Amino acid sequence: MKDTDKTKSQQLMELEEHYGAHNYHPLPVVLSRGKDIYVWDVEGKQYFDFLSSYSAVNQGHCHPRIVKVLKDQADRLCLTSRAFYNDALCEYEKFMHEYFGYDRVLPMNTGAEGVETALKLARRWGAVKKGIPNDRIKVICCEGNFHGRTVTVITMSNDPSSYANYGPLTPGFIRIPYNDTEALRCALDEHGNEVCAFIAEPIQGEAGVFVPDDGYLKTCYDLCHQHNVLFIADEVQTGIARTGRMLCSEHDDIRPDIVVLGKALGGGVLPVSACLADDEIMLNIRPGEHGSTFGGFPLAARVAVEALKVVRDEHLVENAERMGEIFRREVRKIKSEAILEVRGRGLLNAIVTRPVKGRTAWDICLSMKDKGLLAKPTHDHIIRFAPPLTITEEALMQAIAIIRETFEEQ
């Protein structure tokens, strides 16, 4: 085929194939524009975005208020590093304190860095406050977790595609089954005096939107406190209204000792992550002992404040809760042998599929793409459905019609 016979999309995909590292397997669609719940490809075709960049676009694409703050700040001051004070970070810190009710915030950029920071805070607290010998400190994590891609963070993973052949990994982790309070009880009974923290996702997103039993987080939290162990909630994907609560931990009425935020904290325009904690934990790290050149940079600080204001002003917690109920109710009505289960909370949902006549979750996603809806399989047979939280009931029903048509056409 001559280059001139190829579509624009084909040409662009070939460029990436040729010059980019092959660490992703994208759906074959090349996007060039986004607005609220919609994205458009280079040929001008419109799609519902039902991935929302893994929940980083909760406020919708190119939200006018967030983009305006970004542009205004970009014209004034973008980056100072933390070698100097600036007039944006301090206001962001105060805002975060008032918004989430923790004493302090430690700003970083990506979710993985936020998790790394939480682990450092916990280990430091374990050494300084709990008095665990530093070479014996342990963190308990869960099977099926996804906390990011750095070497220490992949050490927690039990998915070989995350950790295999990246060794040697980081010592000091104990992995137990998720949604199993007895496993946590046993691990704490055995190792409690050397454990500084337990880290979990309130819902396991990458594992396929695995929702634990009601009360699971609460029991874990109580067990941790009986053993003087910190509870770290990785809310990078579940936080900021996604599951119909500002933090997913609220579903179980717990206040984690450390909360990790990321993704939607950047309003869909910048990588912004953070750890929230109280003085007793946060103040054990002193000047020069942790940091990031970009962490909390003025642009990020302003964007994060506006991103959180939009969530509140547009009632995205309530909308996620209500639209999520409609989504699950309507999708459960679809008659298809390919659907094994529909699960989720708020607007973090998944359909667990089973291959019918050799048609995989990937094939279903391709077919939905052709009909104008973008979603991505996770773990081969599970499809996640997570539109921006701004979606209206009318748009949601149109999207569900596409999903229904796709599943009913085998």
Ligand X SMILES: *Cc1c(COP(=O)(O)O)cnc(C)c1O
Closest CB to ligand X among residues 24, 84: 24
Closest CB to ligand X among residues 231, 407: 231
For residue 60, the minimal CB distance to ligand X (Å) is 19
Residue 234 within binding range of ligand X, rule CB under 6 A: yes
Residue 268 within binding range of ligand X, rule CB under 6 A: no
Of 36, 234, 252, 257, the active-site residue reads 234
Our answer to whether residue 95 is catalytic in this structure is no
Of all residues in this chain, which one has the CB nearest to ligand X in the complex?
111
Of 50, 138, 198, 263, the active-site residue reads 263
Residue 144 within binding range of ligand X, rule CB under 6 A: no
Closest CB to ligand X among residues 58, 336: 58
As to burial, measured by CB atoms within 10 angstroms (0-12 exposed, 13-18 middle, 19+ buried), residue 130 is middle
Residue 116 within binding range of ligand X, rule CB under 6 A: no
Residue 267 within binding range of ligand X, rule CB under 6 A: no
Residue 272 within binding range of ligand X, rule CB under 6 A: no
Residue 202 within binding range of ligand X, rule CB under 6 A: no
Residue 262 within binding range of ligand X, rule CB under 6 A: yes
Our answer to whether residue 48 is catalytic in this structure is no
Quickly count: other Cβ atoms within 10 Å of residue 295's Cβ. Answer: 21
Closest CB to ligand X among residues 262, 388: 262
Site for ligand X in 152-181 (CB under 6 A): none
Closest CB to ligand X among residues 201, 257: 201
In the beta sheet, which residues pair with residue 343?
350
Residue 388 within binding range of ligand X, rule CB under 6 A: no
Closest CB to ligand X among residues 205, 324: 205
Instruction: Spell out the SS3 assignment of the chain.
Output: CCHHHCCHHHHHHHHHHHHCCCCCCCCCCCEEEEEECEEEECCCCEEEECCHHHHCCCCCECCHHHHHHHHHHHHHCCCCCCCCCCCCHHHHHHHHHHHHCCCEEEEECCHHHHHHHHHHHHHHHHHHCCCCCHHHCEEEEECCCCCCCCHHHHHCCCCHHHHCCCCCCCCCEEEECCCCHHHHHHHHHHHHHHEEEEEECCCECCCCCECCCCCHHHHHHHHHHHCCCEEEEECCCCCCCCCCCCCHHHHHCCCCCEEEECHHHHCCCCCCEEEEECHHHHCCCCCCCCCCCCCCCHHHHHHHHHHHHHHHHCCHHHHHHHHHHHHHHHHCCCCCCCEEEEEEECCEEEEEECCECCECHHHHHHHHHHCCEECEEECCCEEEECCCCCCCHHHHHHHHHHHHHHHHCC
Residue 147 within binding range of ligand X, rule CB under 6 A: yes
Tell me if 265 sits within 8 A of 274, measured CB to CB: yes
Our answer to whether residue 189 is catalytic in this structure is no
Among 59, 73, 110, 336, binds ligand X (CB under 6 A): 110
Rounded to 5°, the CA angle 41-46-48 comes to 110
The region of 34-42, 105-113, 135-143, 351-359 touching ligand X under the rule CB under 6 A is 105-113
For residue 204, the minimal CB distance to ligand X (Å) is 8
The region of 78-86, 199-207, 220-228, 385-393 touching ligand X under the rule CB under 6 A is 199-207
The region of 143-151, 248-256, 323-331, 346-354 touching ligand X under the rule CB under 6 A is 143-151
Count the site residues for ligand X by CB under 6 A.
15
Site for ligand X in 291-350 (CB under 6 A): none
Among 34, 60, 111, 346, binds ligand X (CB under 6 A): 111
The region of 21-29, 140-148, 298-306, 340-348 touching ligand X under the rule CB under 6 A is 140-148
Residue type, 127: A
Of 48, 50, 146, 231, the active-site residue reads 146
Give the active site residues.
146, 234, 263
Binding-site ranges for ligand X (CB under 6 A)? 54, 110-112, 115, 146-148, 201, 205-206, 234, 236-237, 262
